[in-house]
Amino acid sequence: MASLSFSSSLKPCSNNYSRKIVTRYRAKHDYNTDYQSRGLTISNVATKPPSNVVIPSKQDDENIKKNVAWTSVKQERWQGDLLVQGEIPLWLNGTYLRNGPGLWNIGDYNFRHLFDGYATLVRLHFENGRLAMAHRQIESDAYKASIENKKLCYREFSEVPKTDSFLSYIGDIAKLFSGASLTDNANTGVVKLGDGRVVCLTETIKGSIVIDPNNLDTIGKFEYSDNLGGLIHSAHPIVTDSEFLTLLPDLINPGYVVVRMEPGSNERKVIGRVNCRGGPSPGWVHSFPATEHYVVVPEMPLRYCAGNLLKAEPTPLYKFQWHPESKAYMHVMCKASGNVVASVEVPLYVTFHFINAYEEKDEEGRVTAIIADCCEHNADTTILQNLTLQNLRSFSGEDVLPDARVGRFRIPMDGSSYGSLEAALDPNEHGKGMDMCSINPNFLGKKYRYTYACGAQRPCNFPNTLTKIDLMNKTAKNWVDEGSIPSEPFFVARPGATEEDDGVVISMISDKNGEGYALLLDGSTFQEIARAKFPYGLPYGLHGCWVPKT
Ligand SMILES: CC(=O)/C=C/C=C(C)/C=C/C1=C(C)CCCC1(C)C
Ligand SMILES: CC(/C=C/C=O)=C\C=C\C=O
Ligand SMILES: [Fe+2]
């Protein structure tokens, strides 16, 4: 596989000086009053809380009337209690963590794509009906180096550090292949491992960062102790109390290595390998689904592109390329043996997020097919360009969000060559837009009925509703707050629940007036139960996890 080793001796930017941090913003509820006058060096930030590192930004001021969802986070951290309107169920005790790219500028230099932003963690701590909020930047090497050097030092999703000479260009290529110049900006998701460690993730393997869920301290890198190498993995591992499953795309010998890691271990073990059926490289695997006994490996025609990796300026599809001629496939690997037990051609598709998968059985209990659901963008790659900050920040009332649907794959397990892909319900039920999904985690890999996601109330340029989709009745209930952008609805089951939708849905809302709030909906009725206003609106965030009170 593409096991180019990472040389830690190569550093993209020299960062051997530290900068004093000056405070420019202070929230009403700041938890310490004396830090405003304090100058902290960046290396002290993790160990001397509270700090208030200013994110210098012209862009903030320029965008003051734009939706706060697409505006860089105002300050490095905040924590405090929130005033709750409504009632938080007393059974809801624990912490919801949400990660996402919340800082899109280095001084006056503005990033271009949503996925480029430096990671902002938000913490909602629920205890006995009360709610405390905190947010804080993850102290990745990429983030710290950008502050110390006042420039981009690592390759982000679309941003590439500038080179000043041909010689340094050659050096940069070496750093790309060694992995040294790749970002460790863990801005996509956060997971709680079976052993309790909490890890923030992105698509680069080096961007696996352990944090403390109580104070959002950056603890350090999650170091994989195996020799599997490689530079990239799926941004969405499947994590349960008993395992961590992920996919390592192999760019050299096009394929995917399926790996498992046990709680308490840092060693990924290979379950098996799937070779690509199309080419010239593996399809993008932002996420993948699994059933109780099988891992489903998607081979999407939107494929990694080595040529685009080398380019300094973003291409229309960034590091990827659309290869409809290579066709689309779904492979099924047995978790126990590592054997590929089905591999079918399917209609072309584009997805970031798989929702869930399960085994369909006949009367004798034999598995006849795998059903795998995803947020599917009608095989249209324009969604990637829709996520540029320029597009997100310039909503003019025109309906520019491409259509999306719940795409349901049926992968026959009888040796057939083809699988099907169809909309699981009429997409008009959720405004023909949908992404950022969650399910009741107790139904992971099992037959399930409900998914929660962001849907669309048109016209819009980004999903702007919360939707509860009933896959059995093929209907959806929608929640909307005019002009606001809600983040991924996250389902938390009520302890002892017997119904799949008995629980609450947590989301964070960013509005057009610069404000925001935490929102709690009833998982069954999809009605609001409680909300709590933030001291100021927060940028959009991506994925989260639940850390129950122990
Ligand atoms: C935020 C999100 O959902 C995705 C982030 C993806 C990232 C940061 C991907 C980064 C990459 C590189 C820096 C070079 C190699 C390819 C690729 C994995 C796309
Ligand atoms: C915001 C997003 C993907 C995030 C990846 O983690 C997709 C939004 C799609 C809109 O329909
Ligand atoms: Fe994602």
Give 134-161 pLDDT, tens digit per residue.
Answer: 999 999 999 999 999 999 999 999 999 9
Q: Are residues 367 and 301 in the same domain?
A: yes
Domain closes at, from 198, 223, 248: 223
Mean pLDDT lowest for which of 2-11, 172-181, 296-305, 505-514? 2-11
Domain closes at, from 410, 445, 480: 445
Kind and range of the H or E run holding 97: strand 94-98
Beta-carbon contacts of residue 451 (< 8 Å; ≥ 6 apart): 355, 356, 373, 406, 437, 438, 439, 468, 469, 471
Q: How far is the CA of 52 from the centre of ligand 3 (A)?
A: 29
So what's the pLDDT on residue 164? Answer: 78
Domain closes at, from 168, 189, 223: 223
Q: How confident is the model at residue 340 (pLDDT cuts 50, 70, 90)?
A: very high
Mutate to test the pocket of ligand 1, among 184, 204, 286, 304 (most ligand atoms within 8 A of CB): 204
Domain tally, the chain: 2
So what's the pLDDT on residue 266? Answer: 98
SS3 for 521?
Answer: strand
Q: Are residues 168 and 127 in the same domain?
A: yes
Q: How far is the CA of 235 from the centre of ligand 3 (A)?
A: 7
- Distance from C-alpha of 403 to C-alpha of 373, rounded to nearest angstrom: 16
Residue 509 maps to a domain: no
The neighbouring-strand residues paired with 331 are 297, 343
Mean predicted confidence (pLDDT) in 304-325: 94
Mean predicted confidence (pLDDT) in 193-209: 98
Mean predicted confidence (pLDDT) in 161-172: 81
Residue 144 structural domain: 1-223
Which residue's alpha carbon is nearest to atom 9 within ligand 1? 157
- Distance from C-alpha of 183 to C-alpha of 203, rounded to nearest angstrom: 9
Q: 456-472: per-residue pLDDT in tens?
A: 999 999 999 999 999 99
Mutate to test the pocket of ligand 2, among 387, 430, 465, 510 (most ligand atoms within 8 A of CB): 387
Q: Are residues 180 and 247 in the same domain?
A: no
How is residue 167 written in tokens? 């010689």
**Residues 119/135, Cβ–Cβ less than 8 Å:** no
CB atoms within 10 A of CB 541: 28
**Residues 429/476, Cβ–Cβ less than 8 Å:** yes
So what's the pLDDT on residue 169? Answer: 76
Q: Are residues 350 and 301 in the same domain?
A: yes
Q: Are residues 186 and 237 in the same domain?
A: no
Q: Are residues 148 and 11 in the same domain?
A: yes
Q: How far is the CA of 115 from the centre of ligand 3 (A)?
A: 10
Task: Give the pTM.
Answer: 0.90
Residue 480 maps to a domain: no
Closest CA to 455 of 405, 394, 491: 405
Beta-carbon contacts of residue 224 (< 8 Å; ≥ 6 apart): 205, 208, 261, 266, 267, 268
Mean predicted confidence (pLDDT) in 375-384: 98
Q: How far is the CA of 183 from the centre of ligand 3 (A)?
A: 17
- Distance from C-alpha of 416 to C-alpha of 439, rounded to nearest angstrom: 30
Atom index in ligand 2 nearest the CA of residue 236 equals: 6
Residue 487 maps to a domain: no
Q: In the block, which residue shows the tokens 């405004």?
A: 431
- Distance from C-alpha of 201 to C-alpha of 437, rounded to nearest angstrom: 17
Which residue's alpha carbon is nearest to atom 8 within ligand 2? 435
**Residues 274/256, Cβ–Cβ less than 8 Å:** yes
Mutate to test the pocket of ligand 1, among 143, 153, 157, 310 (most ligand atoms within 8 A of CB): 157
Q: How far is the CA of 134 from the centre of ligand 2 (A)?
A: 24
Which residue's alpha carbon is nearest to atom 1 within ligand 1? 115
Compute CA 367 distance to the chain's CA centroid, rounded to the nearest angstrom.
31
